[in-house]
Structure 1
Amino acid sequence: MFQGAVIEELAVQLAREYVFPEVGEEMAEVLLGKWKAGGYDGDQSPQEFALQLTDDLRAVCRDLHVRVVYNETPSERSPRDASSLRRHLELMNFGFSKVERLAGNVGYLKMDAFHSPDLAGDTLRGAMAFLKHTGAMILDMRENSGGQPEMVQLLCSYFLGAEPVLLNTIYSRRTNSTQEYWSLPYVPEARYLGKPVYVLTSRRTFSAAEELTYNLQQLKRATIVGEVTRGGANPGGMVKVHENFSVFIPMKRSINPITQTNWEGKGVTPHVALEADAAFEWAYREALKEIAEEVSLRPEAYGNGRFLKELHTAADRE
């Protein structure tokens, strides 16, 4: 049966690669012990077996990044993989779901994934170019499941000055080294400075989306609105353990330079705790207030009757 082969290789990889060695060894021991005791002898489909392994591993490590996956059709990498991936991501617009200038001159950017800047950087540049003249911005991370830290680095950089700021440090068990992620001294569009930023969160907000939220929160650059996030701060990668089975193993951990810790297992706690569905309305209302206060400080703005009408109409609607 394939179960034994999967478990034996899975145990080896967990003990070798999991970011916390003692936890990796414990997961391996639990799996091997259960298997030898006949705990996986039931009539399970491969998909059910993968889910059971995932549940058993998470019961030990409490790490929501850990995931065993069954692939019905084994796939070998080919020269077409890169172009196929790019085409798939293009169809998903590289994770950018919506970019909009809301009534009252509030910017709205909804991202559902963080893909590599090599792929998604141009789309982010276009979004920030469109939104750069808004008076406040809402970043919607409520359905964002994560992605690449380099894209988090790029997006954070738009909201910070040209002087580099340390955003996050990632420790790798495999190399026993750390990599620092600093805000970038150059971004390919105007920075979004001196204006309010709101980040919307939910219980689905995960991984890289949590890093974006945590970074801006600790730097006091954004107001976080919504629900406590899912709680995954240990990056990693997929490891093949059988012809049809792979496992995502967290091999690294995040270290915030301000707190010297991260959001693993506890999530990011918002400044304003609301149900996810109510987060947008609260942030939009507050953004309109901020813009209205700014306009009142600049008498010349009153010459723009169309804008003021839009602002007050939006405020009344809220």
Structure 2
Amino acid sequence: TREAREQDGGVAGIDRPADGVAHLELRPLLYPLSMVVDRLTAALRSVADADALVIDLRHNRGGAPETVAFICGHLFDEPTHLHTMHFADGTAPIQSWASPPPPGPTFGGRRPLAVLTGADTFSGAEELAYDLQQYGRATVVGERTRGGAHPREGFRIHPHLEVAVPTGRPVHPITGTNWEGSGVVPDLPCAAEDALDVALTRLSRRPAGPRCP
């Protein structure tokens, strides 16, 4: 909780780098929603009026699935199935859906959206990029991500050695798989430091969609 507060809920910056385009940087983590819901809601509402949006995950190490679902709820216009988690111990699978956003303005599911990734983008941040990419909701720009999809549990077998064992596997409803090992492959590959400029160039060529009321 203290780290989330010190990191402003994981909202590292909000700016308008080009006319009509908002840039929202989320790092270092997508903290548990219970810790950051107010700050994250305020950040997402602050970009709801933009003609186009860039979500920057280049330095995001992952985080909570419920936070991914909450963000996705602001970026789709209808209930959207994000993945089904299958567990190694035979526990019944659990579905994750984009969460309905609270009352208020949202960016919605029609206007142009880009997601920036880098070699440090991992775990829950990869899920956010992957979900938006596979539904055709966002263009992913930057570098291939690290490739960590499966939740793990650590077992200490020696004072200086711990073994991490996968305990589950998320399955995306469109691909039937996930990004484990392969990472999220950008639609527009480029060096991470160039990704924002590339995304802005891309977004400037696309017409803005209708605004949400």
Both structures adopt the same fold (TM-score exceeding 0.5): yes
> Does residue 1:276 correspond to 2:198, yes or no?
no
Alpha-carbon distance, 1:138 to partner? 0.4
Aligned residue type for 2:15: E
Distance 1:280 1:270 in 2: 13
| Pair 1:219-2:135 in alignment | yes
Q: 1:164 to 1:140 in 2, by over 3 A?
A: same
Structure 2 CA distance, aligned partners of 1:239 and 1:116?
24
Q: Following the alignment from structure 2 to structure 1, what is the Cα–Cα distance between the partners of residues 11 and 100?
A: 24
Tell me if the contact between 2:81 and 2:97 (Cα under 8 Å) persists in the aligned partners: yes
Report which of the two has the higher share of helix.
1
Deviations 1:165-204 (A, max 9, x none): 1111111223432110011234354221221000011111
The aligned counterpart of 1:82 is none
Aligned residue number for residue 99 of structure 2 = 184
The aligned residue for residue 24 of structure 1 is none
- Take 1:88 and 1:204, find their aligned partners in 2: how far apart are those partners? 19
RMSD: 2.1
Aligned counterpart in structure 1 of residue 9 of structure 2, from 81, 84, 94: 94
Name segments (4+ residues, structure 1) moved above 6 Å. 242-245
8 A Cα contact 1:154 1:187, kept in partner: no
Q: What is the DSSP-based 3-state SS (H/G/I as helix, E as strand, rest coil) of the residue aligned with 1:265?
A: coil
Separation (CA, whole Å) in 1 of partners of 2:176 and 2:34: 30
Q: Is the contact between residue 158 and residue 187 of structure 1 (CA under 8 Å) also seen in structure 2?
A: no
Residue among 22, 26, 46 paired with 1:130: 46
Aligned counterpart in structure 1 of residue 26 of structure 2, from 105, 111, 128: 111
TM-score (norm 1): 0.61
Partner of 1:139: 55
> Does the Cα contact within 8 Å between 1:198 and 1:222 map onto a contact in 2?
yes
Which of 76, 97, 113 is residue 160 of structure 1 equivalent to? 76
**Cα displacement (A) at 1:129:** 1.4
1:177 is paired with a residue whose SS is coil
- Of 170, 173, 176, the residue aligned with 1:254 is 170
Contact 1:136 1:287 in 2 (8 A): yes
TM-score (norm 2): 0.89
Residue 119 to residue 294, structure 1, CA distance change in 2 (3 Å): closer
Q: Deviations over 1:106-128 (max 9, x none)?
A: 11111121111111111110101
| Alignment partner, residue 64 of structure 2 | 148
Identity %: 34
Deviations, residues 230-283 of structure 1 (Å, cap 9, x unaligned):
111101345555778765443111111111111111111111111111111011
> In the alignment, residue 173 of structure 2 is paired with which amino acid?
P
Given that residues 116 and 151 in structure 1 are in contact (C-alpha distance below 8 angstroms), is that contact kept between their aligned partners in structure 2? Answer: yes
2:88 is aligned, of 151, 157, 173, to 173
Q: Deviations over 1:280-303 (max 9, x none)?
A: 10111222333xx449xxxxxxxx
Larger radius of gyration: 1
- Inter-CA distance 126–245: structure 2 relative to 1 (3 Å threshold): farther
Q: 2:125 aligns with which of 209, 215, 223?
A: 209
- How many correspondences in the alignment? 207
Task: Describe the SS at the equivalent of 2:82.
Answer: strand
Contact 2:69 2:98 in 1 (8 A): yes
Q: Report the counterpart of residue 231 of structure 1 in structure 2.
A: 147
Give the C-alpha shift of residue 229 in structure 1. Answer: 0.9
